[in-house]
Amino acid sequence: MRGWGFPEQPRLNKNYTPKVDDPVFNEEWFVETIKDKLAHHPDNSMEFPFEGERIFEAPLVGFVRGDDPLLGQLKQIIGPHHFTPEEIMRWQAANNGVAAPPTEDLSVVSFVMPITKITKDDNAAKSDWPSERWAQTRLLGEIFSQTFVREIVSHLMSKGILAVSPDVTPMFRKKRYPTVGWASPWSHRHIAYAAGLGSFGMHDFFITERGCAHRLGSFVVNKKLGPDRVQRGDIRGNCLQHQGIKCLKCAARCPVKAISEKGHDKDLCYKKVASSISYCNKNYHIFIYGCGLCSTGVPCESGVPKKPRGNSPEKKA
């Protein structure tokens, strides 16, 4: 869905003169602005038959500098197709007829939007297909995320500050790559890891202090913002199974056995998710795909799972 019919990009106000009452666009401004969007934006809302229910709860927000070495390594970790902040900002700068800012002047703002408890409970009760609330979250939550980020980017651009949301540009195309399978040129999950917001699980979901049942987002801004969290040394540090403690609850939740001790079979998972379109359309009258079964009804659903008492990690050969 992303990248198709993308909206017109906001234009940079190259002649903007700073005003005395302009806000200071620092870390606090971004945190409070994103929190306010999720708390009060009318689009953070379900539709019939769940009108009035919020889609997401209060967010987590983190920052990573544009010249962070990990962001450059994503071309090796994910593939050469993955953008660096410098590359996507260079596109935005050229789009506005200005010089591209240096990498050290860029930052990426990453955020986690936890899904509400009632939606998680609904999905946890399912065994084959996503719940109706989950399907609405998959569609409306995606639209809301892109809407409010676009509002923030537009505001910054109106103030003469270059900013870009990679997944609403024509540069964003998700496709299957030979080495990593289905992937996009901008991974919100890996950006969130670089920002110190969590780590990955067996199911490839991103496990944060608020769990793995969430939506992620990020955007690049021409501002030097200081990271306020520390990157985990272990990219799978929040996953019990990867820490040598038997779990695999996510594998048990997968209706097509796409998760095992060997990891996550993206192709098998993709086929199941793609097949959900007809189910959601027929049963919920929503033209969307989704699943999320392995991220609900599991120990990492709503937080970092605690190691059971007396259960020490197994020794690995």
Q: Is residue 50 part of a domain?
A: yes
Predicted TM-score (pTM) of this structure:
0.92
pLDDT in tens, 249-275: 999 999 999 999 999 999 999 999 999
The model's confidence at residue 3, banded by pLDDT at 50, 70 and 90, is very low
The reported pLDDT for the residue numbered 184 is 80
Q: Is residue 306 part of a domain?
A: no
pLDDT digits (tens, 9 = 90+) for 170-200: 878 766 666 666 668 999 999 999 999 999 9
The count of domains in the chain is 1
Over the stretch 57-86, which tens digit does the pLDDT of each residue have? 999 999 999 999 999 999 988 888 899 999
By mean pLDDT, which of 56-65, 100-109, 134-143, 161-170 is the weakest? 161-170
Q: Is residue 262 part of a domain?
A: yes
What is the model's pLDDT at position 180? 64
How far is CA 284 from each of CA 10, 48, 130, rounded to the nearest angstrom? 34, 10, 10
pLDDT band at 314 (very low <50, low <70, confident <90, very high): very low
> Whose CA is closest to 62, among 135, 111, 130, 96?
111
| 118-143 residue pLDDT tens | 999 999 999 999 999 999 999 999 99
For the cut 70, the answer to whether the pLDDT of residue 302 exceeds it is: yes
Q: Is the pLDDT of residue 144 over 70?
A: yes
Residue 193 structure tokens = 């890891």
Phi, psi dihedrals of residue 63, rounded to the nearest 5°:
-135, 150
- Considering only residues 6 and 194, tell me which one the structure prediction assigns the higher pLDDT: 194
Q: Residue 5: what pLDDT?
A: 56
Q: Per the domain annotation, does 236 fall within a domain? A: yes
- CA pair distance 131, 284, nearest whole angstrom: 9
pLDDT for res 174: 66
Does residue 56 form part of some domain? yes
Structural domain that includes position 266 = 27-295
Q: What is the mean pLDDT of residues 308-313?
A: 61
Range 90-100 average pLDDT: 96
In this structure, the number of other CB atoms found within 10 A of the CB of residue 206 comes to 25
The pLDDT of residue 317 is 33
Residue 301 in domain = no
Average of per-residue pLDDT values in the chain: 92
Kindly state whether residue 190 falls inside one of the protein's structural domains: yes
Are 116 and 33 within 8 A, CB to CB? Answer: no
Can you say how many angstroms the Cα of residue 21 is from the centroid of all Cα atoms in its chain? 33
Residue 311 within any structural domain of the chain: no
pLDDT given for residue 176 in this prediction: 66
Return d(Cα 238, Cα 201) in angstroms, integer: 7
pLDDT of residue 1: 37
| Mean pLDDT score, 14-42 | 96
Dihedral sign, Cα of residue 112, residue 116, residue 119, residue 120: positive
Q: What is the 3-state secondary structure (H, E, C) of 36-75?
A: HHHHHCCCCCCCCCCCCCCCECCCEEEEEECCCHHHHHHH
Q: What is the mean pLDDT of the segment spanning 94-109?
A: 97
Question: What is the pLDDT at residue 179?
Answer: 63
Peptide bond into 49 cis (omega under 30): yes
- Is residue 106 within 8 A of residue 86, CB to CB? The reply is yes
